[in-house]
Amino acid sequence: MASKIGSMIFLLATQPPRVPVYNLEGSVAEEVQLPRVFGLPVRIDLIRRAFLSEFTARLQPKGRDPLAGKRTTARSFGVGLGIARVPRIPGLGRAAFINSAVGGHLAHPPRVEKKIHEEINKKEKKLATASALAATARKEFVEKRGHRFPAQTVPVIVVDEVETSITRVKEAKLLLEKLGVWSDIERAKERTRIRAGKGKRRGRRYITPKSILFIVSNHNSSFARAVAGLPGVDVAEPWNVNVLQLAPGGVPGRLTVITRSALEELGKRFDSILLQI
């Protein structure tokens, strides 16, 4: 039954296009047919639901000490004194304990037992990840996300020699300029700004927009290390790429660069996933 439903999903998909494969010189080496997963319909509702689930799963539960602001000898003096009946420190008469007093407890502090992880069904999550990957092959979704690129087709596919031949950032920049996607990294650099709010003094001072997602067969390759430090760049392997990387903020259509072997691995991964749905 599961394989039958998976086959029905593939039947609902459109035929993905053929895209060029670029070599180290930025010229077309060959053409390749995108895997069937790139022809799936883009389900924005599922993608946002899966993003919220994965994003909240990484949040650390926060809670105050249950006795914070309550360790005091303050007590009410009672009635008949012409003063408010709030708890006061004996001998001083200063109000304490209440939430409106200096050093008092918070009215509604965060609690450890609060449920912050939004659950999602496993099959929904798998289908959402496949749908987010399909959106990377729709130029209208990539442009709508705000990516700046003069490339004709998306995703941008490159030969496997890129992972071993490019070892420096300068070499990676030359290749990305030839591929027509370097302007998006410049956009991320230009729009990097100081965060508004208290986060600027909590180790997250700057906000950098997301730029290119590189999907490579080995995230420890020389090419992956060369591009990992560029503004807004993420590097992932085909077997662990997720909605957080494919659709940051729950918005599908991220500009993606994929190596030839990683593209084949993506096809194998999502063929097996969709046949299980």
Give me the amino acid identity at 108: H
Give me the amino acid identity at 7: S
- Lowest-confidence pick of 113-117, 118-122, 162-166: 113-117
CA distance 232 to 122: 29
For residues 13 and 117, the model is more confident at 117
Residue 275: is its pLDDT beyond 90?
A: no
Contact present, 245 and 128 (Cβ < 8 Å): no
β-strand 28-33 against 18-22: which pairing, if any?
antiparallel
Average pLDDT, the chain: 93
Architecture of the CATH domain 2-59+116-274: 3-Layer(aba) Sandwich (3.40)
For the four alpha carbons of 224, 228, 229 and 230, in that order, the dihedral sign comes to positive
* Interval 207-257: pLDDT, tens: 999 999 999 999 999 999 999 999 999 999 999 999 999 999 999 999 999
pLDDT reported for residue 18: 94
Q: Which residues contact 116 (CB under 8 A, 6 or more apart)?
A: 56, 59, 61
Domain boundaries along the sequence of the chain = 2-59+116-274, 68-114
Give exposure, 56-92, as e/b (b: 16+ Cβ within 10 Å): eeeeeeeeeeeeebeebebeeeeeeeeeeebbbeeee
Helix and strand tally (H, E) in the chain? 10, 10
Residue 212, class by beta-carbon neighbours within 10 Å (0-12 exposed, 13-18 middle, 19+ buried)?
buried
The four Cα atoms 6, 215, 153, 135 give a dihedral, to 10 degrees, of: 40
* Interval 169-185: pLDDT, tens: 999 999 999 999 999 99
Residue 13: is its pLDDT beyond 90?
A: no
